[in-house]
Amino acid sequence: MEISSARVKELRDKTGAGMMDCKEALMVSDGDFEKAIDHLRQKGMSAATKRSSKTTKEGMVTSYIHMGGKIGVMVELNCETDFVAKTEKFQTLAKDIAMHIAATNPLFLSSSEIPEATRERERAIYSEQAKAENKPEKIWEKIIEGKFKKYYEEVCLLEQKFVKNPDITISQLITEMIGSTGENIVLRRFARFQLGELSTD
User: Do the bridges between strand 71-79 and strand 186-194 make them parallel or antiparallel, or are there none, so unpaired?
Assistant: antiparallel
CATH classification of the domain holding 97: 3.30.479.20
Please list, in sequence order, all residues whose beta carbon lies within 8 angstroms of the beta carbon of residue 47, skipping any fewer than 6 positions away.
178, 179, 182
Residue range 26-41, pLDDT digits in tens: 888 888 888 887 877 7
Interatomic CA distance for residues 80 and 164, integer angstroms: 26
Interatomic CA distance for residues 138 and 64, integer angstroms: 47
pLDDT for 141 beyond 60? yes
Is residue 104 included in any domain, yes or no? yes
Interatomic CA distance for residues 52 and 75, integer angstroms: 20
Dihedrals φ, ψ of 82, to 5°? -65, -30
pLDDT for 103 beyond 90? yes
Q: Are 144 and 161 in the same domain? A: no
Domain containing 132 equals 115-152
Residue range 146-197, pLDDT digits in tens: 999 999 999 999 999 999 999 899 999 998 888 888 888 999 999 999 988 7
Is residue 200 included in any domain, yes or no? no
Is residue 199 included in any domain, yes or no? no
Does pTM top 0.95 for this prediction? Answer: no
3-state secondary structure of 81: coil
Average pLDDT over residues 78-94: 94
Q: Are 168 and 141 in the same domain? A: no
Average pLDDT over residues 85-98: 95
pLDDT for 43 beyond 60? yes
Please list, in sequence order, all residues whose beta carbon lies within 8 angstroms of the beta carbon of residue 48, skipping any fewer than 6 positions away.
174, 175, 178, 179, 184
Which of 43-52, 54-63, 118-127, 172-181 is predicted most confidently? 118-127
Q: Which amino acid is at 168?
A: I
pLDDT for 13 beyond 80? no
Q: Are 35 and 17 in the same domain? A: yes
Q: Total domain count for the chain? A: 3
